A and B are shown apart, each in its own frame.
Chain A
Amino acid sequence: VRLQESGPGLVKPSETLSLTCSVSGASISSFQWGWIRQSPGEGLELIGYMYYTGTTHYNPSLKSRITISMDTSKDQFSLKVTSVTAADTAVYYCARVGSNYSNYVLGYWGQGTLVTVSS
């Protein structure tokens, strides 16, 4: 199972950050799929995750600004974060919720993509 993030590396303040995760080796119609971010020099923060049926679980502190969506025909899922500020500057990872042995852990991760919010 491989995951690869893609999207702009630079976003202006107040604009919308958009990222896509392309999945190979698995169908996104199984398991849940999500996003985690890591601010420079900081730890890991869950953004949210989604099942293909539409069930989502979002970080309460980000919930008003984030949307996760899926395109099962392409085995891709996406993240949108609106009204970004410098505090949204981070490495963004996509991940599968589920390993080969547990349905609940973050079993597979992408390599991450740095998004900088700056004018």
Chain B
Amino acid sequence: DIQMTQSPSTLSASVGDRVTITCRASQSISKWLAWYQQKPGKGPKLLIYEASILEGGVPSRFSGSGSGTEFTLTISSLRPEDLATYYCQQYNDYFYTFGQGTKLEIK
């Protein structure tokens, strides 16, 4: 299995802050990484695929970068509606695996 490790587990930031979440893969996954946003009581929502491509309708303050084993999700200017847990997921292998999640709290 490809293990995905996210950091930090919890992040507290203020409205307007730039926020970065890191995801590391246990082996190279090229660009085959997606990011999801999960709000309380809801199913996850796709934000980014192929490490850096924004899904249609996702605000441009979200961006992704990286390749190989290290990836980042950045929110350029945090908004209150970004309160959520964020997950990375690799799809280099048929057996998709997820990071453990980063819970984003608004100060």
Contact = CB atoms under 8 A, between A and B. Distances in A.
A112 B95 contact: no
- Which applies to chain B's interface (DSSP): helix, strand, loop or mixed? loop
Contacts of B100: 43
Contacts of A46: 95-98
Given A57-B94, A104-B32, A44 B55 contact: no
Contacts of B42: 111-112
Interface string A33-49: 00000000001111000
B99 A102 contact: no
Given A44-B87, A59-B95, A101-B55, A106 B36 contact: yes
A45 B98 contact: yes
Interface of B: 1, 32, 34, 36, 42-46, 49-50, 53, 55-56, 87, 89, 91, 94-101
